[in-house]
Amino acid sequence: SMQTPWGHGVCRPQGPGSGLAPFHYQHDARKQISNSELEVSAKPHTRRVVMESNSIPPGGYESSNRGRGKGRGKGRGRQQEDRVVPHIRHSLRKTEGVSVCVIGGGPAGLACCRKLCDLGGFKVTLVQESRGLGGKMCTKFPNGHDDTSLSFDMGVQFLDLRPPLLNHLQEFETPIVAPWPKPGNFKRIVCDNKTSQRGNQQLNVDVYTMEGHQMMVGVPSMSAIGRALASKCKGLEVHVDRTAKVVGRSRRTGAWAVEWGRASPTAGQAHSRPELEDVVEEVEEREFDVVVLAFEANKILRGCGSGYKMTSPSATPYLANVASKVKTSQQWNLMVAFQRPTGATLHAAYVEGHPSITWIANNSSKPGRESSAVECWMVLSTEAWAKSQFWKKSAVEKALLPDFVKLLEALGGRPGDIAFLMAGRWGNNTAVLSSGVQGCGDFPERAFQAPTGGPRFAEGAYWDKGQMGACGDWATGFSVCDAYESGLRMAEMVAGNTSP
């Protein structure tokens, strides 16, 4: 039996004769990853039940996550004790070996999974809130993944690789990464805004070539990297497009109860992903010996209140305190596609001195994207511009597009008609590490500049003796490689504190 903050009840199914309405389930694509191949199988049928539970919340405290962020289902008429669990004899089932739930499928989470799967003796389950793996190594296909003519690497723009991630990406027969930009096409643009005698604003630019900067990108997209890394994790079980949280800990076994599912979308989410409106709310719950939180520190501390990704925080008090020391920033990105080539010769550029733009990149110039029928560009705003006011997406598009077009014209380009336009927001860019180290500049340049304020955190990840850990770039640095190494360190901590 278990005890939860929501009270006691008798476990009983819903349906005829139960006094409760039947619950309609939807399958989650559970991906069993083994021997570098993805095998998809449906999850067990789910049904809504009232659980009797003897678990205590993270950290063993009687006060749970109530009052700390928004919980799933809030405002939709659902009672907290009304839960959805797998249709099995005992919903909180155990597996052979040490069971580990890694929440977060970015570089840190994937590295942790890889290390634990290589060590053996661990049954690893990965839950990722977005549709794909890789975290901010993501690519947006507005017309669907089958239409690659319109694509944007909307998160990480390129990689400055080093071992061990470099070594792991070289294990594939088909290349997963390729060099970019081409030599001579990586620039630094210094802007000078002047007012003419007639009172008109003039944008003057000086362009410098960035020498010795040969970076890498994923092929045929950045999101391909996450899928490739996961395929090397033997026996890994993956759940994508599901938000997870820790709901309690068993007093009897010490294991963590983790649930994952999907709540209702906001109006904006439903607009960009219409299929979400047809998905019923569902939750699956299991029991794990160890939980690893491998995602943004801001969400570790506060959870997420965004529609179908809504969840309350899961961290123990110790890990929550660590996460509270991390500072984040936000930026807006603009995805723009022109119907014909702009004539701009550069592939990517840092932008200095511009009031709203810090980065531009011709996504169509990246390897594997050359067949694009249109010319796709990624534009990133400065952090100062992003926080200058509360922006709506439509306002961002209206403000950033003219600024970008004017910049291209100053560079000698001739942008034509717009084929596609969409704004997006990155709200959890790591700005200050848990150790107090502060980054230099805006993203993405911050990932390739030496941090200020002291040495990086030596451990690279955090472990709570209550069998919960946390990792991510925020624990050790600002780049993808930093996040990956944090995940490897996290796996070492798990292995050193458990007995397979």
pLDDT tens profile 158-184: 999 999 999 999 999 999 999 999 999
Asked if the model's pLDDT at residue 466 lies above 50, the reply is: yes
> Residue 370, exposed/middle/buried by CB under 10 A (0-12, 13-18, 19+)?
exposed
- Say what the pLDDT of residue 499 is: 73
Phi-psi region of 35 (alpha: psi -120 to 50; beta: other; left: phi over 0): left
Q: What pLDDT was estimated at residue 333?
A: 96
Residue-range domain boundaries for the chain: 29-137+224-324+454-496, 149-219+329-432
Q: Is the dihedral of CA 271, 273, 278, 284 positive or negative?
A: negative
Contacts by residues 143-148 (CB-CB < 8 Å, ≥ 24 positions apart): 148/220, 148/221, 148/369, 148/371, 148/372
Residue 326 has pLDDT above 90, yes or no: yes
The stretch 93-121 carries a mean pLDDT of 91
The pTM (predicted TM-score) of the whole model is 0.80
Asked if 205 and 188 touch (Cβ cutoff 8 Å), the reply is no
What confidence tier does 146 reach under pLDDT thresholds 50, 70, 90? Answer: confident
Q: Is 327 exposed, middle or buried (0-12, 13-18, 19+ CB in 10 A)?
A: middle
Q: How far apart are CA 414 and CA 394, in angstroms?
A: 24
Which residue, among 477, 465, 491, has the nearest Cα to 111 in the 3D structure?
A: 491
Q: Within a 13 Å sphere around the CA of 89, how many CA atoms are in the beta-carbon half? A: 1
Whether 20 shows a pLDDT value over 60: the answer reads: no
> Lowest mean pLDDT: which of 22-31, 69-78, 330-339, 407-416?
22-31
Q: Tell me, what DSSP letter sits at residue 99? A: E
Same topology between domain 29-137+224-324+454-496 and domain 149-219+329-432: no
DSSP secondary-structure letter at 233? S
- Comparing 11-20, 49-58, 177-186, 337-346, the range with the smallest average pLDDT is 11-20
**How would residue 8 be classed by pLDDT, with cut points 50, 70 and 90?**
very low
What does the block give as tokens for 130? 């977005």
Distance CA 267, CA 455 (A): 44
Q: What pLDDT does 7 receive?
A: 27
Which of the residue ranges 105-109, 198-202, 208-212, 257-261 would you say has the lowest mean pLDDT? 198-202
> Looking at residue 304, what is its pLDDT?
73
Query: Per the structure block, which two tokens stand in for 72?
Result: 């799933």
Q: Does domain 29-137+224-324+454-496 have CATH number 3.50.50.60?
A: yes
What tokens does 172 get?
């594939």
CATH of domain 149-219+329-432: 3.90.660.10
Query: Residue 356 has what pLDDT?
Result: 97
Summarised one tens digit per residue, pLDDT across range 203-219 is 999 999 998 777 999 99
Report residue 193's pLDDT band, with 50, 70 and 90 as the boundaries: confident
Question: Is the pLDDT at 230 greater than 60, yes or no?
Answer: yes
The per-residue pLDDT for 363 is 95
Query: What was the pLDDT predicted at 458?
Result: 54
